[in-house]
Amino acid sequence: MQAMKSVEMLPLELPAAKLQLVQASDAVDVEWLDRSMLEPVLARNADGLWLLSLRRQGEFGKFEKPYIGSDVILADAEFGLIVVLVSYHGSTCEKYGRLGYLTQKGQFYRYYRQGESGEWAQVPWRLLNDELRLFILSLAKPTWAKVPGKLQSECKPPTKPTAMISYKVVRFIDGRYFSLYDPEVEYVLGERMKQKAMPGHGGGYYSFPTTEMGRDFLESCARAIPFDRTVATPELALLECEVSGRIIDYGHKMASTYLCPLRVLEVRSVL
């Protein structure tokens, strides 16, 4: 990453309001940088002048103090658009690995648009249309700069997680369904739940792949609940569920990231 000379901090003459690019007066002097410290600050003063304060300090590749570069990729008054590329690295970058790669560095873009009323506001990439995205992608940038993002037309819609049916035994208390192991966890019919499934029984929702296995477990639990006895549990229920996301097969049961109870197959009294 190399520093690129930014455009001069000059006022932009706009139809409804003025905006001026200025350099922040306070310096950032911490060991570890946080993006909140580096963000350009957009504000309007008492005279109605918009100010966009940018940070520029240090020298790239030297670590006496944190390097922060704010490259103004575009400042177009007629178009009502400002594009800023912020690059940075901390003053205590550490090296790791055989080649001595540096940690604690990065870059990000910020976009500012002027509305019809003259008001300026920061706009995220996701709210820009493809026409504007194409224009921004065509702008000259430093050789080290990453691409701001994709066009909307290039983004693929999220694929629905592959789902399958499974069976889960739960506590049935006053018409509601609760976990055997953690009575504070409630299962609601039609409501999908999420907990990341991890190997080694490290997480996820547990259920059985067949009704036979679910009913066998229901019967064994009804005879003697080997779980939290401090919660009065008059009945147990076998739920048919839809599971999806990551599914880990443990042979006799499985753990899934997503679980959605669909219907009640059976209710059994606790003996």
Other residues' Cβ atoms within 10 Å of the Cβ of residue 76: 13
Residues 6+ apart with CB under 8 A from 32: 90, 92, 104
Model confidence at 10, pLDDT cuts 50, 70, 90, reads: very low
d(CA 16, CA 118): 5
pLDDT of residue 34: 81
Write the burial class of residue 260 (CB in 10 Å: 0-12 exposed, 13-18 middle, 19+ buried): buried
For the entire predicted model, the pTM comes to: 0.55
In this prediction, what percent of the chain has a pLDDT beyond 90? 56
pLDDT in tens, 151-193: 988 887 766 667 899 999 999 999 999 999 888 899 999 999 9
Q: What is the mean pLDDT of residues 118-131?
A: 93
**Is a pLDDT exceeding 60 seen at residue 8?**
no
Model confidence at 14, pLDDT cuts 50, 70, 90, reads: very low
Q: What is the mean pLDDT of residues 201-211?
A: 93
Q: What is the mean pLDDT of residues 92-108?
A: 68
pLDDT of residue 132: 93
For residues 88 and 38, the answer to whether their CB atoms sit within 8 Å is: yes
Q: Which residue has the higher pLDDT, 8 or 18?
A: 18
pLDDT in tens, 39-91: 999 999 988 899 999 999 988 878 788 899 999 999 987 788 999 999 998 87
Q: Which residue has the higher pLDDT, 105 or 260?
A: 260
Write the burial class of residue 256 (CB in 10 Å: 0-12 exposed, 13-18 middle, 19+ buried): buried
Q: Which residue has the higher pLDDT, 18 or 7?
A: 18
Q: For residue 53, what are its two tokens?
A: 């304060």
pLDDT of residue 235: 92
Tell me the CA distances in angstroms from 130 to 126, 137, 156, one per residue in order. Answer: 10, 10, 14
Find, among 51, 38, 42, the residue nearest to 108 by Cα.
38
In three-state form (DSSP H/G/I as H, E/B as E, the rest C), the secondary structure along the chain is CCCCCCCCCCEECCCCCCEEEEECCCCCCCCCCCHHHHCCEEEECCCCCEEEEECCECCCCCCCCCEEEEEEEEEECCCCEEEEEEEEECCCCCEECCCCEECCEEEEEEEEEECCCCCEEECCHHHCCHHHHHHHHCCCCCCCCCCCCCCHHHCCCCCCCCCEEEEEEEEEECCEEECCCCCCCEECCCCCEECCCECCCCECEEEECCHHHHHHHHHHHHHCCCCCCCCCCCEEEEEEEEEEEEEEECCCCEEEEEEEEEEEEEEEECC
